[in-house]
Structure formats: structure tokens, C-alpha cells
Amino acid sequence: MNVTTSPRWIISGAPRPAAPKLYCFAHGGGSAAEYLRWARDLRGAEPHAVQLPGRGSRATEPVITAMDTLVEAFLAEVSLGKEPYAFFGHSLGALVSYEITRALRAAGRPLPARLVVSGFPAPHLPRTADGVHRLPDAELLDTVSRMHGGIPQEVLASPELCALTATALRADYEILETYSWRSEEPLSLPVTVFGGSDDHVTGEQLEAWRALTTGEVTVRQFPGGHFYLRERPAVVLRALAGAVGSIRARAGDTPC
């Protein structure tokens, strides 16, 4: 079955027919383009970046501010087919990819062969909402920059880029801060968990993902903070290629 996707939601680079597809979900306020740049060095996969409304090529569309709305909209417009594929999500993207995986299961649709989550505590852990999405633009950008970093200086120096970034961040933080985990049966697929050793997300919070699947779970921390994957990209991409490569190996062992 060929994969059919909405060009609004999925931005794809050059095809690699022999490689498993890797759908990447960005962090809060993040750009889909960042993950397409991985294609140069991530040879064992065919990256596809998920573009949310209100940013990038969809900048003129209204943002989505609730997880259920986001998941329903994605499933309504995107078909991922039956060929083996994986999800990767960093920070908020980890939570989005997890909830989309659960929604795919509920709909009886093919699931990713592996879920790779990064820089985010297991969703069932207790959380406290801190109201970041209600802050004025300048305070919101300053708060997020102090908590996580990751906002380029050229963005902070441009009023126009600040406004665009604040709009996306506000929507994403509203998704996060109004999210409520609902208890369901654990997933049954393998999960790889990445994090930064100096991040505010602790090793215990990463290990807690083990409770959310009956499949194999691998947890690995890399040197660096919340955006460790930008600090030592070659090391991270090698680990990601290994995780995605296991999909191809299993698919090759499956009888026709």
C-alpha cells in the first residue's frame, strides 16, 4: 500500500525507497525544516517532518491549542500506509507522537514499528501547569528561553519573528498545559527514549516510559541539556539510525 499524506501536514525530502520512513514531530514552537536537514546524515531512514498549522508553510492557518483536536485533525488528513515506519518526537513532539500512536491503535490503523521519544517525561507522571501560554509575548519567549534555550538569537532580535514564534509557542504550551493523560492499555511496540544528561527532565522521568508499553524499552541519555540533539548531532543521529534500522531488520525477517 502506498503512503498517501496531506502535503499540508507532511514535508518530505528526497525519497529513499529502501529505507524505513521516520516521521518527526518537533518540539514546542519548533520547525519541521530542522528534521529534514537530518536527511544528509541519517542514511538509514527516510525522514518526513510533520508541519503543524500556524507555522512554516502553514503560517496563515489557525493554530491548534488542544491535544485531542490536533490528533483528530492529523488522523483525518494523514494516512501512513502499511509499510514499516517509525515516529520520532522531541519534547512536546514526544507527547504528540505518543498520543497519535494511541489514536491510531484505537482506530485500528497500522502503528509505527518503533516510537522514539526524546526530552519528555513519561506522560502518565503527575505534572503541574504553570500558565506559560497565558504570558505576554515577550515574557513567554523569555520564560521558554530561560527554561529550555533553543530560541535562536536572530529570532529574538526580530520583532516580526518574535511575534510568529510567540504565536506558535503559545499554542503549543496551551496544548501541553491543558493536556490530561487518560489511562489505557499499554502500547505493545518497542520504545526508544532519549534525553540530555543535563536536562531538567530526569533519568527517572525518562525511565518511567517503561510503564507505557509491553514492548522492549531502551533509555539513553546524551551529554547536554534539553537540546542535546543540537549539541552533538552526529552521536544522536547514529543512535537514532540504530533504532530505526532495527525496523528494517525485523521487516526483512517477516515472511510474505
Task: Determine the Cα–Cα distance for residues 125 and 69; give it in Å rounded to an integer.
Answer: 22
Share of the chain above pLDDT 70, in %: 93
Active site residue 91: yes
Q: What pLDDT shows up at residue 256?
A: 30
What is the mean predicted confidence (pLDDT) over 31-36? Answer: 85
Q: DSSP 3-state assignment of 180?
A: coil
Range 45-68 average pLDDT: 92
Q: Bigger pLDDT: 13 or 27? A: 27
Report yes or no on whether pTM surpasses 0.85. Answer: yes
Write down the pLDDT at residue 252.
46
Going across the sheet that includes 10-12, the strands are: 10-12, 46-50, 21-25, 85-90, 114-118, 191-196, 217-222
Domains of the chain (ranges; CATH) run 10-126+183-251 (3.40.50.1820)
More confident residue, 222 or 13: 222
What pLDDT digit, counting tens, does each position of 121-171 carry? 999 999 876 888 999 888 988 888 888 776 777 777 788 888 888 889 999
pLDDT at residue number 5: 55
Q: How is residue 148 written as a grid cell?
A: 529550555
Instruction: Work out the pLDDT band at 82, boundaries 50, 70, 90.
Output: confident
Task: Please return the burial class of 122, using the count of CB atoms within 10 Å of its CB with bins 0-12, 13-18 and 19+.
Answer: buried
> Which is catalytic among the residues 12, 31, 91, 97?
91
